[in-house]
Structure 1
């Protein structure tokens, strides 16, 4: 097993941080929560991480069973990475950390790299359980060149990538505005006033979606 830091403490938190506590590791997990990804895509999506360091972090996660390597269909030499069943157990805590961290975003952070998928992950943690609508409906988010869907069915919320048919609500935005709204640096109504976001659908659906995500 590759050499690594060890806190030397008989504690579950310390043991977990021995695996995922190094710099960049949590962000690698974030990318894999979006879906399986190839090494070069990780390098592209994580500007600032060197290939050698990324390879080391992936090796550590693989050795601990947090991720798996898979062949790429149609590419005999290609490999992609995905979270294992053990790694998927990180979804809830990572999403909660995304939600918690939104409160620390400020104007100076807006010059940094942004991807629509990051806001979509944070949105999954923003759902307030006792505000889930009691009607079945679908909300489609068109953020930059990405499309995401939120489905409310029988009091439960599901998330998926890609377009859907006949959504009750369609929200169109650029990635930066999308994240700013999630971080409550900007309200949906302020974004509407400036034309940074476009919302198509009945007022009632807009209210239900906003209330569920804690944006009202």
Structure 2
């Protein structure tokens, strides 16, 4: 008896709001849970899948893989293999993905007041303070690499020349922050998470925090001098 032919499987269609509206279209791409947090991680540069999973506590491997696939399909991210001798693959943002920088910066500013009380279940990573700190350093004119040391770890920022302003035009350039210490920092600052939150909420300026000793500036170059207010 001839086998009955099975109908061809239809391609899975991503959920959509089906609204002819720019906001709805944007949420079609980034409105799923975890997507914007993956963008936050990739704003610091290319990352391996295992690194992303480690710095996104609570996400399952299946969900992370699904979101990354969606981001590739929608043109937000791409995957590439590192050159030899490394055989690892990394994910990185496209220009369209990097254009979400001001969106993430605005969300960080809007959400900062909700961090008044840290819950016992809250995870934290040092580089999660990068975007709020960039906003606080938007007025810096001396361009350079700034290493940031917190009790939770280290990261580095590219500041000056408009980089800290997190405007749409800045998103098309190189990463504005990175993980771990800088290779050749032009200046270093030491502070704690509480001061970062005050700066993010506008309850203190960077100059005030330096003056009262809650931010320590290390280094001798022009960037360090400007950060000290000299």
> Taking structure 1 as the reference length, what is the TM-score of the superposition?
0.73
Q: Deviations over 1:27-68 (max 9, x none)?
A: 000000011101111110000000000011011110011101
Report the equivalent of 1:75: 86
Q: Which of 198, 202, 206 is matched with 2:216 structurally?
A: 198
Deviation >6 Å, runs of 4+: 188-193, 201-204
One of 156, 165, 183 as aligned partner of 1:148: 156
Deviations 1:110-168 (A, max 9, x none): 7622222111122223445xxx35x6476834324424245435xx446554154663x
Query: Do the aligned partners of residues 190 and 33 (structure 1) sit closer, same or farther apart at CA in structure 2, a change above 3 Å counting?
Result: closer
Aligned residue pairs, count:
198
Do the aligned residues in 1 keep the contact of 2:82 with 2:89 (CA within 8 Å)? yes
Question: 1:94-118 deviations in whole A, cap 9, x for unaligned?
Answer: 2222222213221134762222211
CA RMSD of aligned residues (A): 3.4
Residue 183 of structure 1: CA displacement?
3.7
Partner Cα distance (1:157, 1:3) in 2: 38
Contact 1:140 1:164 in 2 (8 A): no
Change in Cα spacing, 1:112 to 1:186, as seen in structure 2 (3 Å) is farther
SS in 2 for 1:100: helix
1:5 is the counterpart of 2:15: yes
From the CA coordinates, give the structure whose radius of gyration is larger: 2
1:173 correspondence with 2:191: yes
* Structure 2 gaps, min length 5: 1-10, 165-175
Q: In the aligned structure 2, how far is the partner of 1:104 from the partner of 1:201?
A: 34
With normalisation by structure 2, the TM-score equals: 0.69
Q: Which has the higher helix share?
A: 1
